[in-house]
Amino acid sequence: MNVYKLNEDKLKEELRHALDREEFCLLYQPKLNLKTGRLCGVEALIRWEHPERGIISPLDFIPAAEETGMILPIGEWVLRTACEQNKAWQEKGLSPMIMAVNLSACQLFVDGLAEKVQSILDESGLAPEYLELEITESMTMDVDSVLPVLHKLKQIGVRISMDDFGTGFSSLYHLKEFPIDSIKIDRSFVRNCTNDSKDATIVKTIIVMAHQLQLEVIAEGVEFKDHLVFLQQNLCDEAQGYLFSKPVPPVELVNIIPILEEV
């Protein structure tokens, strides 16, 4: 057995206990409405605070969580924690925000996702319009199984967003057939939208197309002021990225709202 396999097995074993030991936490990254300049939502992003290894990025443990099936209880914890947090902010008197949560393909394909979402909303007291589920194109390849799930989720009243738009397959088909509310332009296009004319064209075209299909558009990975200006000029609805804020713990989010809205 090689050392990588050993490490991977150890990681999977530790992953099994991490939830019970309360080693996961959520950070929240602001989304700004570009017309009003105001905070309109946040995306919940998971972190694993490992007792020995320190903070582990989701990119380094979500695949193992998917392979072991641990993604199901972890994903449920993420949904519940994010909904409870959003409700707590509303009760604190903050302007209502939309909480976006990333779904894993495993969650979409297991029976009872819509029922689970409904019971989490009921228990947390969060109204469905304040929850948005981010899915990716790669998860939607199997149209016949995914479409009924998405329709069930829409019946509950939650929002659905197509994440990492432009990096997957058959995107245009999905835009037409799927009950989605918004699309998120992948960071790989946004990153060069002001210095690469092809990326600029792609970003502009996605925005125009989305609007013609009555979808909202959000740009992710906005790091520089000139990205923001470009997106505003091209009527992108929302933006998210380090220019405004990195993902932050809940207490910090409340503190940065006034600063955010001045960018």
Residue 78, interface with ligand C2E (CB under 6 A)? yes
Residue 164, interface with ligand C2E (CB under 6 A)? yes
Cα separation, 42 vs 247, in Å, equals 9
Residue by residue, DSSP assigns 2-56 as -HHHHHHHHHHHHHHHHTTTT-EEEEEEEEEETTT-SEEEEEEEEEEEETTTEEE
Residue 223, interface with ligand C2E (CB under 6 A)? yes
Q: Which of 39, 194, 219, 221 binds ligand C2E (CB under 6 A)?
A: 221
Q: Which residue has the tokens 């790989």?
A: 188
Is 33 in contact with 71 (CB distance < 8 Å)?
no
Residues of span 177-196 touching Ca ion by CB under 5 A: 186-187
Residue 231, interface with ligand C2E (CB under 6 A)? no
Q: How far is the CB of 240 from ligand C2E (least distance, A)?
A: 6
Cα separation, 150 vs 187, in Å, equals 25
Q: Which two tokens stand for residue 161?
A: 């967003």
Q: Which of 18, 42, 62, 120 binds ligand C2E (CB under 6 A)?
A: 62
For 199, phi and psi rounded to 5 degrees? -65, -40
> Which amino acid belongs to residue 75?
G
Q: Which residue has the tokens 């409700």?
A: 87
Q: Which is nearer to Ca ion, 14 or 24 (by Cβ)?
A: 24
Residues of span 4-43 touching ligand C2E by CB under 6 A: 29
Residue 46 contact among Ca ion, ligand C2E, none, beta carbon within 5 to 8 Å by kind: ligand C2E
For 182, phi and psi rounded to 5 degrees? -155, 160
Q: Which is nearer to Ca ion, 12 or 33 (by Cβ)?
A: 33
Q: Which of 163, 219, 244, 245 binds Ca ion (CB under 5 A)?
A: 163
Map residue 221 onto helix, strand or coil.
coil
Q: Which is nearer to ligand C2E, 135 or 215 (by Cβ)?
A: 135
Residue 163, interface with ligand C2E (CB under 6 A)? yes
Residues near Ca ion (CB under 5 A): 102, 134, 163-164, 186-187
Residues near ligand C2E (CB under 6 A): 29, 45-46, 57-59, 62, 75, 78, 102, 104, 163-164, 220-223, 241-242, 247
